[in-house]
């Protein structure tokens, strides 16, 4: 594997690059340049733009307990007509805003899912997949809905999350493969390739209000998953989409001055290029408008637009919210996401570079393969230079302050997960994670308790999976993998036994299992990525169940 060569260090990579260049000369091939057609997509506006003052009134007056309700609602007529009617009506005596909204919008519904009695955990997950599958082609989506149509069926997480989400889908795919649903894996890959072609990137989710950002770039890892089941032709099929996604994340890499940043790119003073989370907008999130306005007001002395962008960037990370992004490690108002070079994002981009290299090699474009191997080599070197904390773990880096963040999180395992970690450092990270994050019921997300959902005492299925696989990638470390897997599986099983559901996140500290807390909304059940990881853990640690 390309990742294996990369993990062994620069020498192995240079040898691989030289061999590939030699193959190019011997074969007499001319590698084609990567096409970066800069076709501007016409992006549909989010609800905040469609409804203006009406949107602000609905969200600030908390007409609905969940700020996501209104932005997922469908207008019963043209938005401009509704806005005009609102402007004419709002000053009338006895005007009732909620009554107005209910008369002019169809609210989203959350179907009640009642499973048959007596299902085992595995049977329940297999039964859930069709309940979480949606088909919303252009013909299925009402006019002016915030929902973005997709050409193929896809799986949603569940609960308030009525649309597909980018990084959730990788972990959902793990379970779909275990359930024999390779068809849905292929469908969602096609959906993501369609979004990349149309929008230039994979949005956070298929909603208009998510278009200004992406999420952790797992698309290359999804292609790897499909290729293991279907053969290496999958790499070639999705190679154009892989390259285009990479171009999105690297926009500005060649033009950004040293010591500064452009969009998702950070260029260090020595010329090293790494990446950060970012959002193209610097306004309150449509789906969390009031929460963001409140946070910005409480962030005394800070520019509100700066706060909004940092909140949005944290949403792109998927860790919304976590002490990882806080200047003081504890308080949301100190959030500084765009100042931080995250270890998880750069590990995933390393993997994407290696995946593109493999796709290019399989397509006999060896110059392209050599180019992306070199890119991956540079990134692996940068990860091990800038994102290594001498306390024994991989960490995030604050590029504005010019120093490492000293707050351990489960993201430390990402370089191991993608095989970018140097072996000695991988072992140290495993020991640190076992000593500091492993709890009675699984892996704590961080060492801080802030009341945010991506902090202790919560544990999340995707972080357990990447920790298990990361430990397994380095010989002799199956013990941590087994401890993490069996403890978390016991937590999931106990909650299912008592509540008959799988949930978004779990409490992993203390003797008693339970659903996690914190964050901007109540605990959700369904739940896509928990289902996927649980099926894998059942096969690994409880195959008879």
How far apart CA 329 and CA 301 sit, in angstroms, is 18
Residue 335 DSSP one-character state: B
Output the CA angle 349-352-358, nearest 5 degrees: 150
Close Cβ partners of 155 (under 8 Å, ≥ 6 residues apart):
129, 132, 133, 134, 164, 169, 172, 176, 184, 188, 528
Q: Pick the catalytic residue: 163, 292, 320, 525?
A: 320
Task: Locate 149 and state its tokens.
Answer: 């149509």
180: region left, alpha or beta (phi > 0 left; psi from -120 to 50 alpha): left
- CB neighbours of residue 87 within 10 Å: 12
Identify the CA nearest to 37 among candidates 256, 196, 192: 196
State the virtual CA torsion across 443, 446, 447, 451 in degrees, nearest 10.
-110
Q: Pick the catalytic residue: 163, 310, 353, 504?
A: 504
For residue 527, give Cα distances in angstroms to 315, 492, 504. Answer: 19, 12, 6
- The secondary structure element, H or E, covering residue 267 is strand 265-267
Identify the CA nearest to 44 among candidates 122, 149, 196, 177: 149
- 215 annotated as belonging to a binding site for a ligand: yes
Strand order through the sheet with 403-404: 340-341, 397-398, 403-404
- 285 annotated as belonging to a binding site for a ligand: no
**DSSP-assigned beta bridge partners for residue 442:** 439
- Whether the Cβ atoms of residue 368 and residue 360 lie closer than 8 Å to each other: yes
- 160 annotated as belonging to a binding site for a ligand: yes
- Whether the Cβ atoms of residue 164 and residue 150 lie closer than 8 Å to each other: yes
Q: Residue 320 catalytic?
A: yes
- 520 annotated as belonging to a binding site for a ligand: yes
For residue 529, give Cα distances in angstroms to 50, 223, 303, 517, 524. Answer: 32, 17, 36, 17, 12
Output the CA angle 456-210-323, nearest 5 degrees: 20
**Could you tell me whether strands 388-389 and 393-394 are parallel, antiparallel, or unpaired per DSSP bridges?**
antiparallel
Is the peptide bond preceding residue 163 cis, with omega within 30 degrees of 0?
A: no
Is the C-alpha dihedral spanning 67, 159, 525, 344 positive or negative?
negative
- 214 annotated as belonging to a binding site for a ligand: yes
- 213 annotated as belonging to a binding site for a ligand: yes
Q: What is the largest CA-CA distance in the chain?
A: 83
CA 386 to chain CA centroid, Å, is: 23
HSE at residue 314, side-chain half, CA atoms within 13 A, is 27
- 59 annotated as belonging to a binding site for a ligand: no
Give the active site residues. 320, 504
Binding site residue list for substrate: 160, 167-168, 204, 213-215, 318, 520
Binding site residue list: 160, 167-168, 204, 213-215, 318, 520
């Amino acid at each position: 594997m390309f990742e294996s060569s990369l993990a062994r260090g620069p020498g192995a990579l240079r040898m691989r690059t030289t061999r590939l260049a030699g193959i190019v000369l011997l074969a007499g091939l001319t590698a084609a340049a990567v096409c970066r057609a800069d076709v501007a997509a016409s992006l549909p506006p989010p609800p905040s733009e469609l409804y203006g003052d009406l949107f602000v009134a609905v969200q600030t007056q908390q007409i609905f307990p969940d700020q996501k309700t209104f932005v997922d609602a469908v207008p019963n007529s043209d938005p401009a007509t509704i806005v005009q009617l609102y402007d004419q009506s709002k000053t009338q005596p006895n005007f009732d805003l909620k009554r107005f909204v209910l008369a002019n919008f169809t609210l989203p519904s959350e179907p009640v899912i009642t499973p048959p009695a007596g299902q085992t955990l595995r049977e329940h997950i297999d039964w859930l997949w069709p309940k979480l599958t949606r088909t919303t082609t252009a013909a299925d989506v009402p006019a002016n809905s915030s929902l973005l149509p997709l050409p193929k069926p896809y799986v949603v997480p569940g609960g308030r999350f009525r649309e597909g989400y980018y990084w959730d889908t990788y972990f959902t795919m793990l379970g779909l493969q275990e359930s024999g649903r390779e068809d849905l894996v292929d469908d969602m890959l096609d959906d993501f390739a369609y979004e990349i072609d149309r929008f230039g990137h994979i949005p956070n989710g298929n909603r208009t209000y998510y278009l200004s950002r992406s999420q952790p770039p797992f698309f290359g890892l999804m292609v790897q998953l499909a290729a293991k089941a279907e053969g290496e032709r999958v790499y070639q099929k999705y190679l154009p989409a892989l390259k285009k996604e990479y171009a999105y994340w690297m926009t500005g890499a060649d033009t950004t001055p040293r010591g500064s940043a452009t969009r998702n790119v950070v260029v260090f003073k020595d010329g090293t290029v790494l990446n950060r989370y970012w959002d193209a907008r610097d306004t309150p999130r449509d789906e969390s408008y009031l929460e963001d306005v409140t946070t910005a007001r409480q962030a005394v002395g800070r520019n509100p637009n700066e706060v909004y962008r940092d909140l949005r960037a944290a949403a792109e990370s998927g860790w919304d919210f976590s002490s990882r992004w806080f200047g003081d490690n504890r308080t949301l108002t100190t959030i500084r996401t765009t100042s931080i070079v995250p270890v998880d994002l750069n590990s995933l981009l390393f993997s994407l570079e290696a995946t593109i290299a493999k796709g290019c090699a399989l397509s006999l474009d060896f110059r392209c393969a050599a180019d992306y191997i070199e890119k991956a080599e540079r990134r692996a070197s940068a990860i091990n230079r800038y994102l290594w904390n001498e306390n024994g773990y991989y960490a995030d880096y604050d590029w504005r302050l010019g120093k490492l963040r000293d707050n351990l999180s489960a993201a430390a395992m990402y370089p191991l997960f993608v095989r970018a970690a140097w072996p000695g450092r991988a072992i140290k990270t495993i020991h640190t994670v076992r000593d500091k994050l492993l709890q009675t019921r699984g892996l704590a997300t961080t060492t801080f308790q802030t009341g945010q959902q991506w902090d202790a005492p919560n544990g999340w299925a995707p972080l357990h999976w990447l920790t298990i696989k990361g430990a397994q990638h380095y010989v002799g470390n199956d013990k941590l993998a087994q401890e993490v897997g069996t403890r978390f599986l016991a937590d999931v099983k106990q909650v299912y036994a008592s509540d008959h559901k799988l949930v978004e996140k779990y409490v992993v500290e203390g003797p008693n299992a339970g659903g996690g807390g914190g964050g901007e909304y109540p605990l959700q059940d369904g739940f896509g990525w928990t289902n996927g990881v649980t099926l894998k853990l059942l096969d690994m640690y409880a195959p008879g169940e």
